[in-house]
A and B are shown apart, each in its own frame.
Chain A
Amino acid sequence: MAETQENGQVKSLKLGEGHVITLRIEPPIMHGDEGERRAVKGLSIRLAQTCVHWSGDVRLCYDLDIPAGSFVTITGPSGAGKSTLLELIAGFITPECGRVFIGEEDVTCLPPGERPVSMLFQDNNLFAHLDAFTNAGLGLNPTGRFSAEEREKIYQVFKQLGLSGLEKRLPAQLSGGQRQRVALARILLRDSPVILLDEPYTGLDDQLRKDLEKCIQDMWQKDFPTILMIAHMQSLALSGMTM
Chain B
Amino acid sequence: MSRRLFAAGSGDVPVTEPVCRKVPFWRSTRKGLTFLGLALLLMPVILALAGLAVFAPPGVRDFMETLRDAYVWHVVGFTFLQALLSTLLSLMGGLLLARSLFRRGAFAGRVWLERLMLLPMVLPQIVVVLGFLAVWGRQGWIRHLIYLAGVDTDVSIYGLTGILMAHAFYNVPLAARLLLARLEGVPGEYWRLAAQLGMPPLRVFTLVEWPAMRTVLPGVGVLIFMLCATSFTVVLILGGGPAATTLEVAIYQALRFDFMPERAMVLSLLQLMLMAAVHIILRYFGAPEQGEAGSFRRDVRHPFAYRAGARVWDVAVITMAALYLILPLAAVIIDGVAAFSTTVLLREEVMDAVLTSLSVSVAAAHFALFVVFLMLAYLHHPRGILPDDGWTRFSDAIASLVLVVPVVTLAAGWFLLLLVFDAVELMAPVVVIVLNAIMVLPFVWRVLNPAARMVQDRNGRLTVQLAMGWRARVRLVDWPLLKKAVGLAIALAMAMSVGDLGSIALFGSESFHTLPWLIYRALGSYRSDEAASLSLLLLIMVGGFLSVAGLFETSAEGRKGTVPAVKR
Binding site for B on A (CB under 8 A): 14-17, 49, 51, 59, 61, 63, 90-99, 108-109, 111-114, 117-119, 121, 124-130, 134, 138-139, 142-144, 190
Expressed in whole angstroms, the minimum distance between the Cβ of A194 and any Cβ of chain B is 12
Nearest-neighbour CB distance to chain B for A48, whole angstroms, equals 10
Q: Is the CB of A99 within 8 A of B19?
A: yes
List of B residues within 8 angstroms of A61 by Cβ: 7-10, 13
Instruction: Give A186's nearest chain B residue, CB to CB.
Output: B466
- Asked if residues A111 and B383 are in contact (CB atoms below 8 Å), the reply is yes
B341 to chain A, nearest CB (A): 50
Residue of A14, A49, A143 near B472 (CB, 8 A) is A143
Q: How far is the CA of A59 from the CA of B18 in the complex (A)?
A: 15
- Asked whether, in the complex, the Cβ of B466 is within 8 Å of the Cβ of A59, the reply is no
Chain A nearest CB, measured from B192 CB (Å): 34
**Residues of chain B contacted by A190 (CB below 8 angstroms):** 466
Q: List 17 A-B contacts (CB under 8 A).
A: A14-B9, A15-B8, A16-B9, A51-B7, A61-B7, A61-B9, A61-B13, A92-B383, A93-B383, A97-B19, A98-B19, A111-B464, A113-B467, A124-B458, A125-B462, A126-B462, A142-B472
Q: Cα distance A143–B13 when bound, in Å? A: 43
Write the B264-292 contact mask toward A (1 if CB under 8 angstroms, else 0): 00000000000000000000000000000
In the complex, which of the residues A59, A129, A144 contacts B7, with contact meaning CB atoms closer than 8 Å?
A59
Other-chain contact of B459, A93, A112, A127, A142 (Cβ < 8 Å): A127
- With a cutoff of 8 Å between Cβ atoms, the chain A residues found around residue B195 in the complex are none
The residue in B8, B18, B468, B477 that gathers the most chain A C-beta atoms within 10 A of its C-beta is B8
Cβ of B360 to closest chain A Cβ, rounded Å: 34
| With A61-B9, A125-B462 as contacts: A94 and B477 at CB distance below 8 Å | no
Q: 13 additional contacts, CB 8 Å, given A96-B18, A114-B467, A142-B469?
A: A61-B7, A61-B10, A92-B464, A93-B383, A97-B19, A108-B19, A111-B383, A111-B464, A124-B458, A127-B462, A130-B480, A138-B476, A139-B466
CB distance from A174 to the nearest CB of B (A): 16
Q: Cβ of A127 and Cβ of B476 under 8 Å apart?
A: yes
The CA of A92 and the CA of B20, in the complex, are separated in Å by: 13
Cα–Cα, bound, A116→B467 (Å): 11
Chain B residues lying within 8 Å of A119, measured Cβ to Cβ, are 465
Q: Please name all residues of chain A whose beta carbon is closer than 8 Å to the beta carbon of B468 when the two chains form the complex.
A: 113, 138, 142-143
A111 to B23, CA, bound (A): 13
A144 to B462, CA, bound (A): 14
Cβ contact within 8 Å between B20 and A112: no
B464 and A112 contacting across the interface, CB-CB below 8 Å: yes
Tell me whether A127 and B477 are in contact in the complex, defined as CB-CB below 8 angstroms, given that A92-B461, A113-B464 are known contacts: yes
Q: Which residues of A contact B469 (CB under 8 A)?
A: 142-143
**A15: which B residues are within 8 A, CB to CB?**
8-9
B9 nearest CB neighbor, chain A only:
A14
**Cβ contacts under 8 Å, B13 to chain A:** 49, 51, 61, 97-98
Inter-chain contacts of B481 with A (CB < 8 A): 129
Q: Cα distance A96–B385 when bound, in Å?
A: 17
Contact A144 B461 (CB under 8 A): no
User: B9 contacts A144, CB within 8 Å?
Assistant: no
Residue contact B10 to A112, C-beta cutoff 8 Å: no
B383 to chain A, nearest CB (A): 5
| Complex Cα–Cα for A98 and B7 (A) | 11
Known contacts A92-B383, A97-B5, A129-B480; decide if A113 and B466 are in contact (CB<8 Å): yes
Chain B residues contacting A143 (CB-CB under 8 Å) are 468-469, 471-472, 476
Residues of A within 8 A of B480 (CB): 129-130
Give min CB distance, B461 to chain A, whole Å.
6
The complex places the Cα of A139 from the Cα of B476 at a distance, in Å, of: 14
CB distance from A140 to the nearest CB of B (A): 10
